[in-house]
Amino acid sequence: MISLKGKIVLITGASSGIGRATAFAFAGAGARLLLCARRLELLQELEAPLMKAGAAAVTTFQLDVRERAAVDAAVASLPAEWSAIAVLVNNAGLSRGLTKVYEDDPVDWDEMIDTNVKGLLAVTRAVVPGMVVRGAGHVINLGSTAGHMTYANGAVYCATKAAEMAISEGLKIDLIGTAVRVTSVDPGMAETEFSKVRFRGDDERAAKVYERITPLTPEDIAEAILWAATRPAHVNIQSIVLTTIDQANSMVFHRHD
């Protein structure tokens, strides 16, 4: 088991949901946390609780991963004491709408592709070369069961998560011969802000997604991420697929009476 005490962990989209829970999981392991998201005020509110939870240090900064120049500048301008990133958690991602692809809004396509695919690529491109030079590192990408099976009215979101899976596999191939590890963590239904974002704040519609189902929690997923990151250095967990007991795949659910 690898100790993460004092190691630098960069988490994107860390202001809420899975990213927030992952920050607390790594705080409990004594890591130094480098957290970014679009909503800086929410990140700043986490600094004191994360220190109390055991983080060795916490630094937060605002970043939209869709802006590649901003990603490059943010990573390049890290102080020397924060530059040796040991673990990158590419968590930033979202879905917009639930619509037939031929009727969908192309603006929503752009936001999902730019965040879930191009944003992931931008952060990976900025961080991984340093890991290769240092001879150590771990990239953990957030995928989804949606990347394994396409569901109705979600073609573009599912495509972005299938792309994440392919990028993770390709990155691991490209890193063969180095000590850098790559993991894709692919959760099923989890109760976060995901559905509220998808339906643009429609709380009633979002709540129906989880109706009569016991979903995963962000903490469930954070625990899987931390587990993958703490395996012995010679062990690479290529992928983890986790669902609630009420979900078989992206299409099959059990709703309680």
Q: Which residues contact 152 (CB under 8 A, 6 or more apart)?
A: none
3-class DSSP assignment, residue 256:
coil
Q: Which amino acid is present at 193?
A: E
- Give the whole-angstrom CA distance, residue 28 versus residue 52: 9
- b/e code 226-255 from CB counts within 10 Å (16+ = b): bebbbeeeeebbebbbbbbebbeebeebee
Structure tokens at 92: 């930033």
Closest to 141 in 3D by CA, of 175, 101, 178: 175
Phi, psi of 14, rounded to the nearest 5 degrees: -90, 5
Q: What are the residue numbers of the active site?
A: 157
Write out the two tokens for 164: 């994440």
Residue 158: φ, ψ to 5°:
-60, -40
The rounded distance, in Å, linking the Cα atoms of 69 and 78 is 14
Report helix, strand or coil for 86. Answer: strand
Q: Kindly state the tokens that stand for 117.
A: 């695919």
What is the rounded distance in angstroms from the CA atom of residue 190 to the CA atom of residue 202?
17
What span, in angstroms and rounded, lies between the C-alpha atoms of 71 and 66? 8
CA distance 236 to 179: 10
